[in-house]
Chains A and B, each alone.
Chain A
Amino acid sequence: MNLRKRIIKGLIVLTLALPLSGCWDNIDINHRVLPVVLGISKSEGIFHVFLQISEPVTDRIRIKIVSGSGRTITHAIDRLSMNMEEHVDLLHVKIVLLDKQFAMEGMSESIVDFMRARDISPKALVAICDEDLPSFFDKVKKGLESQGTILFDFFEKNAGWNPQISLTRVWQVYRSIHSFTRDVAIPIVRSGKTTAIEHIGSAVIKNGRMVARISPSETLLFNAFNGESTQGSIEVMNHASVLITANTMRNTSSMIGDTPYMKSTIRLKVVLLETRGQPTNEMIREELDKLLTERFNAMFGKIQAVKADILGLGQFYRHIIPRESLADWREEYYPRLQLEMHIETNIQNTGFLNTP
């Protein structure tokens, strides 16, 4: 191959690369609006969409809340984008905030659409708002003036997250819609009186519908069950408060007849933070075990009653129950499940050593 042919071929390849790449659709980052929070509510078949947009202006970040409505979420966002001077890029949405009413009516369609359209990252967190979205955003906006990411930081593990808050992503909700054996818990927030946001517990979501609610301390146990409770503190009745520094989980599942049995052991390593009176470690341990077991049983009773398997216990029976009947897990087996919970605590009266 001589040189001229080579050069011509090279030029053809280069010129083809341009029309084939579609690169004229690329929009620079400063021409995109980057909403961090997407709020969705629904009334009478019409979706109302709220976007919390952080806008860089000269040397600070300004918060803007825009809203639009439409028959579908995409349509609503499209109308918003049309009216805005920049392109709306939902890929940076970190939190999808759902109206409580909407969540109770069922949000599975919207979640499926998010996964299909792929314009919202599947890693975005889902949360439920316990008040009217307009008033929530209004109040939050006042608290947001300084920093654009406050709502997001609230859920961020290396920022404001606490083990009392459940963390559930869009893909997990999507999974729960399709899975036979797993449901999710979604945090519920509202605007706070002294803080910007207030966490008031978790919603139990079954097949994309909110069916019950658990309190923050129950959510801590839920997180402990998933191995994510480190640094959560627990108040032991009257005597002390402790901080969880490590937790491990062991489950054994068995099936006798048609009744699933489960033995769960949560091992907690806790550090004493405050004591009142002169309780011995033994006393605190006993009280802690009792308290947590009771609390766990109460929570479990609650979610078992609504047939929502947020702990994912069905996962442990996947190898026992045949595939055909697995679809009946929530309706048939789960309500009969006998769960025996042991909480083993190891109290370390050393003070909290690994202060960051």
Chain B
Amino acid sequence: MNAFLQEVKDALGRNDDFFVQRQTLLEQQVTIFGFATLVDVTSTLSIFIEQELSARASLMEADAFWHTLGTVEETNVRTAVSAIQQGCVILYLVDRNRMIVVDAAQKELTRSIDLPSNENILQGPSSSFIEDIDTNIGLIRKQRSAASMRVRTFATGREQRKKLTLIYDEVYAEPAMIREMIGQIEDHSDMEINHIQHVSKLMGFPKWQAIPKWNTTELPQEAVSALLKGKVVLFVDRIPFALVLPNLLWDMFALDNDRNYSLPIMVIIRSIRLVGVLLTLLAPGFYVALVAVNPEVLRIEMALSVAQSREGVPYPAIVEMLIMLVILELIIEASARLPKSIGPTLTMVGGIIIGQAVVTARLVSNLLIIILAATTIANSTVVGFQNSLSIRMFKYVIVILAALYGVLGIMAGMVLLSAYMASLRTFGVPYLNLSCKKGEMKHG
């Protein structure tokens, strides 16, 4: 047995799905090997045989034939192993001690393009990204076929080479930002990427960030509109959504699909989202502040009806609020975990607890339930699930400040939040910028 073959076998042979197939092509001994779970062996072999037949028909020399299959390389165990792991097969020419890395017929291991599962789209293109990175890039190319679009692919990681693709539009994207990003990726190309936190580490973002540095989207339409705004779309293989860098405040309110409606409708939809964010942030805080600290702000009629609704409630407002908020978070988290068939049970039970039982048991006031419902509903108006998570978290800061300092605390919380948002920068782009297009960045 040949040394190269032996080495490859040593590296991968302990896997039961590793196959080695001897074959004669154009009277020469070749050995074909790869993973049977990644490669469709039968059709790969039949392709080789077909090609051999056509080569015979056209009286092709053996050397030329090899070149039609792929690049003839010096044998190299490392390259061979990593190619096999990525789903190629190695065609080893025994007599000449050369190998060819061949893109084989792949097993169908990815789902087909489907409707978006985490984002809803109303009256818009509704194909969504999938796990396969090439399909995703293809979707983007399909959505926008412009000559100025650039697709840069990197491979990172030492043990496994994970594909990472950066897409931007040369006309709109700020060159300095692109240079910085590419530099960052190239400098850390040995980092392993398994999840988004790894990507974040690779891009050099701080770990403790309350607002994500990127927007995630499943929709090619949104990704392309981000490109047109000078942003960068980052794909990671096996992650079924695009990471849009940098994330700006306005992305919380604007969806490109809004532009499929007439302008006034778009403005109204976006202002509703704005109201939603403010309501989520402020409503629980105001409840605590007005009930416990500054009831004088309320009109007397309101004050009386609030007092009436809280009659007999044992807890102070902040405890009441925190208990119910936590229960609500539990419901949200649980409904994300549960299988779809059990989900409705949870909704029902949650609805009974929140809507009826707690109030009847006089544990919390009626008004609180209204506030909570409004908050939860309003929270869902935000564009992008990541953003809604941030907002969900910030409301606790405001609730606690409101419990301490009342209405003043709410203001302090908002100032704090604004200051924090103003301090954020992604590759030199401030979070509060309205645009990161080329030339508009510094004075945005």
Contact = CB atoms under 8 A, between A and B. Distances in A.
22 contacts: A17-B404, A21-B404, A23-B293, A23-B403, A26-B316, A27-B292, A28-B291, A28-B310, A29-B298, A29-B303, A29-B307, A30-B312, A34-B307, A54-B300, A57-B311, A61-B304, A89-B295, A89-B296, A91-B295, A92-B296, A121-B296, A149-B300
A5 B291 CA distance: 37
A32 B296 CA distance: 11
B405 A21 contact: yes
B308 interface: yes
Nearest to A32: B295
A152 B308 contact: no
B306 A29 contact: yes
Interface of B: 290-293, 295-296, 298, 300-301, 303-308, 310-313, 316-317, 403-406
Given A23-B403, A30-B313, A56-B308, A94 B300 contact: yes
B303 A30 contact: no
Nearest to B297: A91
Contacts of A288: none
Contacts of B300: 34, 36, 54, 92, 94, 149, 152
Nearest to A86: B307
Could you say which of A18, A28, A58, A59 has the most chain B C-beta atoms within 10 Å of its C-beta? A28
B307 A26 contact: no
A93 to B, nearest CB: 9
Interface in A73-119: 89, 91-92, 94
A94 B298 CA distance: 12
A270 to B, nearest CB: 33
Contacts of A17: 404
A91 B290 CA distance: 13
B409 to A, nearest CB: 8
A34 B404 contact: no
- 9 closest A-B pairs by beta carbon, nearest first, are A56-B308, A91-B296, A21-B404, A30-B310, A29-B295, A26-B292, A23-B404, A30-B307, A29-B307
A100 B406 CA distance: 39
A155 B304 CA distance: 18
Could you say which of A18, A30, A121 has the most chain B C-beta atoms within 10 Å of its C-beta? A30
B301 A149 contact: yes
A187 interface: no
Contacts of A61: 304, 308
A223 B185 CA distance: 74
Contact of B303 (A23, A92, A121): A92
Is the contact region of chain B dominated by helix, strand, or loop, or is it mixed? Answer: helix
Contacts of B317: 28
A32 B304 CA distance: 10
Contacts of A32: 295, 307
Contacts of A91: 295-296
A23 B319 CA distance: 13
Contacts of A59: 308
Contacts of A148: 304
A17 B310 CA distance: 27
A148 B305 CA distance: 11
Interface of A: 17-18, 21, 23, 26-30, 32, 34, 36, 54, 56-59, 61, 89, 91-92, 94, 121, 148-149, 152
Nearest to A119: B296
A92 B295 contact: yes
Contacts of A36: 300
A54 B304 contact: yes
Could you say which of B290, B305, B308, B403 has the most chain A C-beta atoms within 10 Å of its C-beta? B308
Given A34-B307, A54-B304, A28 B296 contact: no
Given A28-B310, A29-B292, 20 more contacts: A21-B405, A26-B292, A27-B292, A28-B291, A28-B316, A29-B290, A29-B291, A29-B295, A29-B310, A30-B310, A30-B312, A32-B295, A56-B305, A58-B311, A61-B304, A92-B300, A92-B303, A149-B300, A149-B301, A152-B300
Contacts of B306: 29
A92 B304 CA distance: 10
A250 B313 CA distance: 57
B164 to A, nearest CB: 27
A56 B293 CA distance: 19
Contacts of B312: 30
A56 B311 contact: yes
Contacts of B295: 29, 32, 34, 89, 91-92
Contacts of A26: 292-293, 316, 403, 406
A98 to B, nearest CB: 20
B407 to A, nearest CB: 12
Given A28-B292, A92-B296, A92-B300, A56 B307 contact: yes
A23 B316 CA distance: 11
A34 B299 CA distance: 11
A61 B301 CA distance: 10
Nearest to B291: A29
A34 B303 contact: yes
A28 B296 CA distance: 12
A149 B301 CA distance: 7
A94 B403 CA distance: 26
Contacts of A57: 311
A61 B406 CA distance: 27
A153 to B, nearest CB: 9
B208 to A, nearest CB: 8
Nearest to A90: B296
A92 B300 CA distance: 7
Nearest to B305: A56
Nearest to A148: B304
A196 B312 CA distance: 32
A34 B310 CA distance: 14
B299 to A, nearest CB: 9
A149 B302 CA distance: 11
A149 B290 CA distance: 20
A54 to B, nearest CB: 5
Contacts of B405: 21, 23
Nearest to B404: A21
A61 B293 CA distance: 23
A57 B304 CA distance: 10
B404 to A, nearest CB: 4
A188 B405 CA distance: 39
Contacts of A30: 307, 310-313
Contacts of B404: 17-18, 21, 23
Contacts of B304: 34, 54, 56, 61, 148-149
Could you say which of B292, B296, B406 has the most chain A C-beta atoms within 10 Å of its C-beta? B296
Contacts of B406: 26
